Amino acid sequence: MSKTLVVFGATGQQGGSIIKTVLASPSLSKTYKIRAVTRDITKPAAQALSSLGIEIVQGDAGDVSSLGPVLEGAHTVFALTTTTYDSQCYTREFTQGKAIADAAVAASVQYLIFSSLPHCSSISGGKYKGVQSFDAKADVETYIRSLPIKSAFFMPGSFLQNFHNQTMQPNPIGDGTYAIFNIVSPSTRLPLIDTASDTGKHISAILSDPEKFEGKSLCASTEVPTMEEICATMTKMSGKTVVYKQLPESVFRGFMKNEVQAENIVQMMFFIQDFGYYGEGSVEKVEETGRLVGWGLTTLGEYLRKHPLVLQ
């Protein structure tokens, strides 16, 4: 009998990648029956999953009463929380993550995989206390580890998809080049992941051998290039010169939607610069995860070949 795999955020990049990878695997597609969770079962992305024969259920971590039916009879759960930059950023994410964990235990779920992130406050010794989205997920992870349920943790790096979201602009000096703007030093290393493709590879490794990965935190990235190395790869793949421009903090903050977002992003970037995305030994942690997962993960160059940057 197939085990029911509940996937929260089924229509997003992480959940969608997991579903796609499991369906494509001859062994996992027989082992697991997918139950896809979304807040709106009528939207086209949800209907597309339904057309594949996947069970679609409506659920919202913000509505605790919806979680019991969603998790009924489930064997394994993949859960995540979504960041919204407002005054309730930390509280919302922690509360929702905790609610899913509690509901999983109440439903006798056997295994919980949670999309987590490093705890910036702790790793920095209290220097960077404002990265609410990271700390909330990390605190949920700590809570899950205290519960009577087997668990593993997926910690994605910076999404390669973000490079298509206003990250790059024409260089203001008007010399025909393009620039990535940020506040960190050019030598700052940023771990990268093709979320839509490689989330599923990491989670499928866990699903294939749950005991091997129990209690582990996967530093899920393909490579950890410097900001300058990222620009060099973009230049090579696009045929146009892309350079890195380090901005004053005051200017960078002006790019943000609100002060909560600005504080989170500024502290996050300085944390990455000073301590490494995953803390000390970030590069080695990513390499170790790659060996454990054993899949061919997508490099920046490979991603840009499939999804070229539009530079006008």
Report d(CA 92, CA 95) in Å as an integer: 5
- 90-106 pLDDT per residue, tens: 999 999 999 999 999 99
- 34-56 pLDDT per residue, tens: 999 999 999 999 999 999 999 99
pLDDT band per the 50, 70, 90 thresholds, residue 312: low
Q: What is the pTM of this model?
A: 0.96
The backbone torsions φ and ψ at residue 285, rounded to the nearest 5 degrees and listed phi first, read -65, -40
> What CATH topology corresponds to 3-306?
Rossmann fold (3.40.50)
3-state secondary structure at position 73: coil
CA 154 to each of CA 113, 276, 293: distance values in angstroms, whole numbers, following the listed order: 7, 17, 11
- 198-217 pLDDT per residue, tens: 999 999 999 999 999 999 99
pLDDT at 167 over 60: no
Q: Where are the domains of the chain?
A: 3-306
